[in-house]
Structure 1
């Protein structure tokens, strides 16, 4: 399925530009703003009293109070770099902080204790923070980078694709996160330590991708991606851990953010709860949002054959019981619906989409409570979390989607997890010890039917079992803090799979080392090795025969061994070069019995992944090199440039025959950068290049017999190569600061240079000019739709 872009007349673009660029400075009064936040110890979370916070390049600054809180007043609204310093600690600078007259989130710092250095040696503070557990293959995005990401349309899943080694599916209306040649379902996602099963609306069950992100970018204090060297506390991960750090709601005053973009409207509000008039701040705060799509209105207006409609919500409540104890309540959820819209005029490509589009009714919810207890002697802390998440998915396809007649496939299922996590962090002399466990109840039910002579099934089942795991990791620095060391392990088991309780088979060791090669600490070499495991999706575990007997109880945990090494050079206090080599080797990947293809090649479509008989026999490997240049905001300019050269391939039932995977694009180039002019103008751009995409060609005879199901010949995986993907998105931002209110208007041009975007060959039935099927039925390739259009979008953000 391909989403057609919209061609707008040049005069419309002219008026949009004129409305954005017109001089409105005369409407503005002289405004001032303030900047606030907390400075704390990075280990103990203790407030640092008397720390200095300064706006770099200005005389403005402040000193923290007894709570570690600071406020800088009489600030001219613009962009600053903000530096926090404290005696005996390494200074920290936060870059690209946009100070506005309305609704500026707190800018918080966590400082690390410094070590003594030789006289006459200037140690350069590294703004690209790491830790001993994950010294490489880790990237972070700041709140401002998230909010102004060009071409992202406030979609966090698209924003993540600006990070090195991360790509999305080519062609179609998709939003997958593919990391270094791994499948979309090889990643895990955490929201303040609470795991969420997916980050997209209309998610593909058994995988994680979908067309639109469901997390609100206004919530985040930062996003962190680990593409290897995973901490032992993370289970069920093979390719990437994405951590979304939410802001605490403002505990002193109420603030609101309202956003309208090309596809949705969103409102976010935050503030204190139970705050009395004589208190400066409350011990309880909240931040909450709701978003509403109007894509369905746009799609109906341009006469597309399907109408996606969604809502989502997100919230966080924080309550500080006392100085050492804190509770957090976090939740996120979505309501998704895809309905059919019959176009007014017949066209072959629209009819093929109308034939093949599924009817989806889906809702998701995740809710969790976590308790963090800091020990009074500052020797560590413990975190306890209880959470639940549910995915309810009704997925249907018919011979006649318009009248919903002639059932082809139905999947009416629900996945629910109830998780209890405990993690203890202890500081023993120079060592940091992390250990803990997880106990999880997994509940899965499905009523599924596929009407197909060769692959059909029909069953109703319920699955209820327990998953569990333990982990431990030890880290410290040696040699005057120049050598970082971390080693750990985890083991996982479950009560369903035949070998599920043999937890020694999932023993997952890992080791990471980093060494600062010079006294100035400009050069750092790092390496890590580890073994990681993932349980197959519930759609695989719960697949049954027509009598309700589970057919995949003999599957195994998927295993992936990682070896990564790299070197980083800190060019300036705000820029770095790095190069990494990586190797991932897979074992026991599920292979489809019917199609003889590894499930590693699937998950990028809108159907259900894994609802079939499999065997845990597949092998795989992904390896390559990654180059990165990153410059934090200095002299009005910031940029991330990355090039990843890699190969990704997997086997079916023949362990000697490696075939290129669907994600084996070989070359990935990403650039994201921007320049800030005076008067709060900003121009930013994103450039993406992805090499050819290998696919399995369509088996036309089998497809004709199973239409509207499209059947591929996976024995010829890689014979079909889509052209390289190349797209440039440009964004122009302008902010106006009024008294206690900031207006941000942005204009985006997606596919600014009108590149032809690759798409898969589209198949449909031969029809006459009236759209009636010609008998006997024949399959035909639909003429390719022009995907080279420019897509302009206009957005408005109001903070007050």
Structure 2
């Protein structure tokens, strides 16, 4: 939708909203015991600063009607349990999602000591390094475009790719493929469109934020149930569909349109259905925008997401969830190209990609409230068709072809038991891995076709408890993983991964807390590396080891009040058995930040690495008008290469990360928010000009010079203005966003192309010339609307 049409809609709503306005809304939800899942009958739910509230019924449900449409903090309390507050809850005339509370039992209270409820409380199995987002925080994030990968970059220790059309999540100096993603317990290989196979990234997220009840990020002290993680776990908790009526929303932005619908199934005459659904479809029109403004590539994508939930009874729940995408990165056939556009058109790959994940989960709560079991069966598939041509427009002169499919089928079982003050969890994971790859690489003289099928498996156990009247939290866990493909894959003692974490309240009022953890974690190499074959059909990477990473973290937190905190956390990560390319003599930790097929080359498990740093955080929850986050990170990330044992800076080694985020809510549902980011100078491997000139349009890097040159720092301010309108039977959110409001030049590497004459013809003999070395610092305004019905 064009900006003129959006401006007309925006103006129409402003001038007509007083006539058609609906000034009240309704919120509903449930209050349950966080440990057992049992409904808490008679719990009190109130809106701070008002006399509006309700008590929960026998199902734990509450309903608050006739609420003036604005933003509130909502508080739930119950005798014997810790009061919980949900901040920044926007009440609309339509489109309010269920507000669910899970209250922790209050073990004891000390006389003459006032304990301030902590809105930043950690989980027992991860007592440190965990951050959580609500749906509202994601949707209103300035510069985020409802993209969770961009939103998490406001947190300490988290950064993204500095240059290029990418969306990597880099946590504490680790490579993007060191993170794992879970959707309601279902593993997702990647969360981005046009992802780099074997790594991560991609330009835009494929997840629909309308599905989320919350998102949590863990940067260390990972629970033993998570496999293959070295840097971060992103857990997306999907909500269930509305069990009373059909509702939905339509979102239009500068790059895409998304429709989400939800409601009850087989409701009959019941007030609430036992079966619900929520489903969405999203369509990009970036390709149309890029064609109009004259960019040389056209990203075109679809994605879809769904969840069906069925309650057999109060103890048994079954859900089916899935997500998928269809991506096509085509070349824009332009007649008049400047040298930079021509170089981009020549060098960008042609990508056609599709992905699909589906999972079925069954959760059974034991009737005596002594625990629960959870079984999840899932399947994920990625089809990647990757081509490079001498002539991208006509797709002639093929010099690299990679056609592959990777499929995983997972069985995950977890049993949790409550024994006195202990919570014990154990289970197993079994994965069937199927990988097919057909590669023709004429530049490096490689041609192979591999088709492998093998099993991966893991066993885990974890125990957590609180002591000293809840002032000390302690957790310990153990995991071991194996596989039937690599030569030492069945030697489980090689991957024993213990972990221990604790948090201790230094003062009886629980305002000062010290925490720490140590742990060892393992990750198997990606299928692109395991499935690589040499020209005689051997698998040279079968003798590789799991990557090992040892973490040590210590932190201190001070709770200023019930909605603000400051914290400091230091971390150190050691890496061993990191794969090093025998072709480029560089650690794979320094690859994967481009649109290539990551890791499809011979490697040896001979690398080491280390990342260490200090994170400082101030966080202010919504107070009635203002909210804000200030995060500062100072760190170092470096890895060894093949030729010597010296540590060289990683391509993610920015050194300094600064993120400032804040918002202010005015009357009449107006809001202004902003985000400022600063990333220090990141090193990069410069182009090997002689080799690139010989093989152009293939581009080669000189990894021996990695760390000798760095990009300029990134400094960017994004501003967003939101206005919410409420009508009878629908509500409308309208926003104006300005990215790079200060028109700062973005850091970018020098780009090279072949020297051409005034007619655009290549001059012979061929000569490589620099065509660009900086961003022009454009201000990028955009409009968007969300219609809730």
Q: TM-score range, shorter-chain basis?
A: over 0.9
Match of 1:4 in 2: none
> What is residue 260 of structure 1 aligned with on the other side?
252
Corresponding residue number in structure 2 for 1:623 = 612
- Equivalent residue for 2:292, pick from 276, 279, 301: 301
Match of 1:222 among 214, 226, 230: 214
Equivalent in the alignment of 1:350? 341
- 1:249-272 deviation line (CA, Å, top 9, x unaligned): 011111111000010000000110
Aligned to 1:181: 173
Equivalent residue in structure 2 for 1:339, among 320, 326, 330: 330
Distance in 1 (alpha carbons) for counterparts of 2:240 and 2:514: 35
Q: Does 1:384 align with 2:384?
A: no
Distance 2:341 2:520 in 1: 46
Deviation at 1:23, TM superposition (A): 4.6
Aligned with 1:664 (options 653, 663, 671): 653
Aligned residues: 788
TM-score if structure 2 supplies the norm length? 0.98
Counterpart pick for 1:411 among 402, 405, 425: 402
Q: 1:15: Cα distance to partner?
A: 6.7
Q: What is the rounded CA distance, in whole Å, between the counterparts of 1:13 and 1:127 in structure 2? A: 41
SS in structure 2 opposite 1:720?
coil
Alpha-carbon displacement from aligned partner over 1:107-147 (angstroms, at most 9, x marks no partner): 00000110222211101000112122211111011111011
Does residue 769 in structure 1 map to residue 761 in structure 2? no
**In the alignment, structure 1 residue 123 sits paired with structure 2 residue 115:** yes
Q: Which residue of 1 aligns with 2:63?
A: 71
Q: State the shift of 1:14 in Å.
A: 13
Q: Distance in 2 between matches of 1:169 and 1:404?
A: 29
SS at match of 1:271: strand
Tell me the equivalent position of 1:324.
315
Aligned ranges 1:592-631 → 2 under 5 Å? 592-631=581-620
Q: CA deviation at 1:17?
A: 12
Mapped contact 2:29–2:63 kept (Cα < 8 A): yes
Shift of 1:655: 5.4
CA distance 1:17–1:386, shift in 2 (3 Å): closer
> Structure 1 residue 405: deviation in Å?
1.3
Name the CA distance, whole Å, in 1 between partners of 2:698 and 2:627. Answer: 46
Tell me which of 229, 232, 242 is aligned to 1:237: 229
Partner of 2:139: 147
Give 1:164 shift. 1.9
> Contact 1:367–1:388 (CA<8 Å) still a contact in 2?
yes
2:37 corresponds to: 45
Distance 2:30 2:337 in 1: 60
Matched, 1:491 2:483: no
C-alpha displacement at 1:13, in angstroms?
13
Aligned counterparts of 2:631 and 2:457: Cα–Cα separation in 1? 38
Q: What's the Cα RMSD here?
A: 1.5
User: What does residue 434 of structure 1 align with?
Assistant: 425
Residues 1:458 and 2:447 aligned together: yes
Q: Give unmatched runs, 5+ long, in structure 2.
A: none
Give the corresponding residue for 2:84: 92
* Deviation readout 1:414-456 (Å, 9 max, x if unpaired): 000000000010001111001100000000000001111xx32
Q: For 1:457 and 1:565, how far apart are their aligned partners in 2?
A: 47
Inter-partner Cα distance in structure 1 for 2:280 and 2:13: 30
CA separation in 2, counterparts of 1:101 and 1:29? Answer: 9
Partner of 2:240: 248
1:19 is displaced (CA, Å) by: 3.8
Structure 1 residue matching 2:300: 3-state secondary structure = strand
CA distance in 2 between partners of 1:634 and 1:417 (Å)? 45
Distance 2:6 2:67 in 1: 35
Residue range with higher mean Cα deviation, 123-132 or 257-266: 123-132
Match of 2:675 among 686, 700, 710: 686
2:533 is paired with a residue whose SS is: coil
CA distance in 1 between partners of 2:146 and 2:675 (Å): 14
Would you say the 8 A contact 2:677–2:715 is kept in 1?
yes
1:368 aligns with 2:386: no
User: Within 2, Cα distance between the matches of 1:526 and 1:186?
Assistant: 24
CA shift, 1:203, in A, is 0.3
Distance, in Å, in 2 between the alignment partners of 1:601 and 1:386 is 34
What is aligned with 1:3? none
**Relative to structure 1, is the Cα distance of residues 637 and 287 closer, same or farther in structure 2, using a 3 angstrom cutoff?**
same
Kept after mapping to 2: 8 A contact 1:28/1:736: no
Q: 1:570 aligns with which of 548, 559, 579?
A: 559
Over 6 Å off, 4+ runs: 11-18
- Shift of residue 344, structure 1, vs aligned partner: 2.7
**Pairing partner for 2:49 from 25, 40, 57:** 57
The reply to whether residue 280 of structure 1 matches residue 271 of structure 2 is: yes
Length-normalised TM-score, structure 1: 0.97
Alpha carbons 2:547, 2:578 under 8 Å: kept: yes
Aligned to 2:719: 730
Of 557, 566, 586, the match for 2:575:
586
Q: Which of 506, 516, 526 is the matching residue for 1:527? A: 516
Task: Identify the residue that residue 436 of structure 2 maps to in structure 1.
Answer: 445
Name the SS of the counterpart of 1:248 in structure 2. Answer: coil
Change (3 A) 1:467 1:578: same
The answer for unaligned runs of 5 or more in structure 1 is: 1-7
